[in-house]
Amino acid sequence: MSSPSFFAELKRRNVYKVAVAYAVVAWLLVQVATQVFPFLEIPNWVVRLVIALVVIGFPIALVIAWAFESTPEGIKRTEIADSMPASTRSRKNAWIYIVVFGAAFSIGLFLIGRYTAQVGTSRSSAAGAADVPKSKVGQLGEPSLPVSKKSIAVLPFENLSEDKSATYFADGIQDQILTKLASIADLKVISRTSTARYKSKPEDLTTVSQQLGVANVLEGTVQKAGEKVRINVQLIDALADTHLWAKTYDRDIQDIFAVESEVAQEIADSLKAKLSPAEASTVASAPTKDAQAYDLFLKAEFEHRLGNLSLRLESFDQAATWYREAVARDPNFALAIAQLAICRLRRHWLVEPLSEPDLMEAGRLAKQALTLAPDLAEAHIALGTFHYYGFREYEPALIEFQRAIALQPNNSTALQFVAFVHRRQAKWQATLNELPIAMEKDPRDASLVGNLAQTYTCLRRWKEAEEVARHGLAIDPHESTSMRHLLLSSLNQTGSLQEPVRLLATFLPDDPLIPNSGSYSAVIGSRCDTFILARDFKAASKALETSMAAMTNEAQRLAAKVIVQVLAGDITGTRSNAEKVVQVLEARVHEHPRDIRSLRALSWVYLALGRKSDAVNIARQTVELLPAEKDAVVGPSNMTSFAEMQAQTGAVKEAVENLKKLLSIPAGETVSVARLKIDPVWDPIRNDPGFQQLLTTKQFIGP
C-alpha cells in the first residue's frame, strides 16, 4: 500500500478525528487532575496516575479507531461497517461537538489554573523565595501568608509550685507537649526556642500570634507538690482573642505522661488535625514508665538548654550527669539516651573537643537509642549529629536528619541541620532555600537568623547579610552571630572602619563576639579584630580583655594576646607570652589533633618564637585536615590562616596564590578585596606586585 492511500485510509477510518477528540478530552482530564484534585486534597500520586493512563491510552484509542466503527447496531469491525447500507451508518459529526465542548472547558480550566497559580505565587513569594531580603518581604522570618487555623505555639508554662526550683519541671511539661504536637504533620507547630522568648501569659496575644505566625496559643501553669501535680491549660484563638477550651488535671506524678498525651490529643482534635496511625501512637506514647527517671531527664533537659545558651562547660557536664542517672534507673529510656548523645556532641562541637574514646561513646549511645526506638526522631538526630559533629560525614548525617523530619515534620532542629550540612557541602542555594523553612517553625530563634546572615557573608552578599543580621538583633540584641556578621558585612564590603567602630559602641561591653570561624580573628574575637583592622592596638588589647571571659581556657587567652602583640610589633611581650603557652598548646594539640582553633593558636605562638617553619607546617596541617572541598565554611578560613603564615614568614608567591583562590570562592568571612587593603596581617607582602594585583581582582559573589 502506498503512502498516499495509507493516509487516505486513516482519514476514511476516522483515525484523525479520534486523535483530535482524544487529545482534547485528554487535555481536559489533565487540567481537571492538576487544577481541581489539589483543591480537593487528592494525593499527587492520583494526578500522576491520571496523566500516565492518558498517555498510555492514546495509541490504544488509535488502534481501536482503525479496527472498529460505531453504528446504530453497536460497535462493528470496520470491514463489516463498510458493507452495511449507508442509512444504517453512524453520523460522523458527533466528534465535532466533543472537540468544541472539550476545548472550551479545557481553556476555561487552564485560565483559572493560571490565575490561581499567579495569585498563590504572589502570596507565597515571601515564604518560598529563600534569598529575598526582608526589605522586599516585610519582617524577615515572620509569615506573610494567611495564618493557618491548624497552627499553634505552646507558650512557657508558669511554675506555681512553692519550690521555685521546680521551674525545670514546668518547662519539661511544656516541652514534651510541644514535642508530641511536632509529630503531627497536619499542624504547624512553633519551636520551643521561639516560644521561650515570651511570658507564660502575654498581654498582647495578637502580636505574639503575628510574630510567630500562628492562629492559636496554648497557655499553662504547673503546680508540683510532693507526688501530686496540678496542670492547668487553656487553648486560645489568638486571632479572635477567645478561649477555645480550658482544663485542669490533678494527677499523681506517675500519671504525668497521660496528661501530656491527653493535652496534645485535645489540641489536635480542637484544631481538626488529621493524625496517621503512627502519629496517634506517638502522641499516646510515654518515653519511660519510671517517674523518677523522667524527673531526672527533665532536669537534664533544662540544664542542657542552659548550656546551649551560655556555652558553659559546666552546664553540659551537669546535664550529662542527670541524663546518665535517668538511664541508670531505666536502661530502655531511649529519649534520655539520645539526648545524652546530643548533649555530649554539642559540647564537643561548641565548647571543648571530646577525646576519641568519648566521641565514639557518644556514637554508641546514639545507635543504642535508635535500636531501642527506631521511630524516635531524636534518636535519628543523635546519630546524624554524631556523623556531622564527630567526623563531618555529611551524607549519612543527611539521611538521619531527613528521617527525623519524616517522623517529626515540625522539628526545627532537624530542618536546620539539613541546611547546615548543605552549607558545609557548598550547596549554597539549597541552604538559602532551607534556612527560611526552618525559620517558619522557629521564627524568633535569633541564632538561626544569624546563621542565614553568615551564609550571605560567606557569599559576599553584603547587603542581604546586613539586613538579615539587623533582623536577628531586633529579636535578640545580644545574639553574637548576628552582631559579628553585621560588623563583617560592613568591614569586608567597604574596608571603612567608621561604621563598624560605631556599631561596636552600640553593643554591650560584655558581648565578647567570639567567632566560630575566621582566620586569626577566630582566636582573638571580632571585637578585638575590628580594632586591629583600625590599627588601634591599644583599643584592641582592651577589647581582648573584655573577650577573654568567654574564652574556654587560659591557653586560648594567652595565644590571643600573642597574636595582638605580633600584629602590633611588640616583640618583647610576644615572646614572653609565647613561652608561657607553647607547651600547653602542644599538649592540647597532642590530645586533640583535630582541634582547629588550637592548631591556629599554636601556629601563631611558633611564629612569635621565631619557629617559622613550624608555624607554616601547623597552618598547612589545618588545611590538610579540613580543606575547603570538605568544609565550605571552615575550610576557606583554614586556607586564610595558611596564607597569613606564608605572608608572615616570607613565602610571598605562595601566599598570593592562596589569596587569589580565596577570592574566587565563597570565602567572604575572611577574605575580600576591601579587607585585603586594610588588614595589617598582609603588611609584609603589601608592596608585592602580585598582591597589589589582587586588589583589582573581581571577587566571587553569589549565587
| Predicted local confidence at residue 52, as pLDDT | 72
Mean pLDDT of 35-39: 53
**Per-residue pLDDT tens over the stretch 214-239:** 999 999 999 998 889 999 999 999 98
Domains 151-279 and 292-474 agree in fold: no
CATH number of 151-279: 3.40.50.10610
Mean pLDDT of 562-579: 89
pLDDT(120) > 70: no
Dist. CA 54–CA 31, nearest whole Å: 12
Three-state SS sequence of 205-238: HHHHHHHHCCCEEEEEEEEEECCEEEEEEEEEEC
Q: How confident is the model at residue 136 (pLDDT cuts 50, 70, 90)?
A: very low
Give the single-character DSSP code of 552.
S
Lowest mean pLDDT among 129-143, 170-184, 210-224: 129-143
pLDDT(55) > 90: no
> Is residue 77 packed enough to be buried (19+ CB in 10 Å), middle (13-18) or exposed (0-12)?
exposed
The position carrying cell 522568648 is 197
Stronger pLDDT, 622 or 51, i.e. the higher one: 622
Whole-number percent of the chain with pLDDT over 90: 65
Written out in words, the top-level CATH class of the domain with range 292-474 is mainly alpha
Listed by start position, the domains of the chain span: 3-124, 151-279, 292-474, 512-694
Determine the residue type at 326: A
Give phi and psi for 220, each to the nearest 5.
-160, 160
Cell numbers at residue 191, please? 519551636
Pairing assessment for the beta strands 151-154 and 68-71 based on DSSP bridges: unpaired
Cα separations (Å) of 236 from 151, 192, 265?
11, 18, 16
| Predicted local confidence at residue 7, as pLDDT | 59
Cell numbers at residue 703, please? 549565587
pLDDT(129) > 50: no
Asked if residue 421 lies in contact with residue 451, where contact means CB atoms within 8 angstroms, the answer is no
**Per-residue pLDDT tens over the stretch 616-674:** 999 999 999 999 999 999 999 999 999 999 999 999 999 999 999 999 999 999 999 99
Lowest mean pLDDT among 57-71, 202-216, 387-401, 554-568: 57-71
Contacts for 401 with CB less than 8 Å, ≥ 6 apart? 380, 381, 384, 414, 417, 418, 421
| Predicted local confidence at residue 117, as pLDDT | 37
**pTM (2 decimals)?**
0.78
CATH domain 512-694 topology: 1.25.40
pLDDT(444) > 70: yes
| Predicted local confidence at residue 319, as pLDDT | 98
Determine the residue type at 272: K
- Work out the mean pLDDT of the chain and round it to a whole number: 85
Determine the residue type at 445: D
**Per-residue pLDDT tens over the stretch 597-617:** 899 999 999 999 999 999 999
Determine the residue type at 543: A
User: If you write DSSP's letter for every residue of 272-334 in order, what string do you get?
Assistant: T----HHHHHHHH--S-S-HHHHHHHHHHHHHHHHHHHH--HHHHHHHHHHHHHHHHH-TT-H
Mean pLDDT of 498-511: 86
Neighbours of 313 (CB within 10 A): 15
Q: How confident is the model at residue 107 (pLDDT cuts 50, 70, 90)?
A: low
Dist. CA 8–CA 631, nearest whole Å: 67
Question: Nearest to residue 189, comparing CAs of 264, 137, 243?
Answer: 264
| Predicted local confidence at residue 223, as pLDDT | 94
pLDDT(49) > 90: no
Pairing assessment for the beta strands 158-159 and 228-237 based on DSSP bridges: unpaired
Neighbours of 301 (CB within 10 A): 23
Dist. CA 556–CA 560, nearest whole Å: 6
The most confident of the ranges 3-7, 344-348, 514-518 is: 344-348
pLDDT(473) > 90: yes
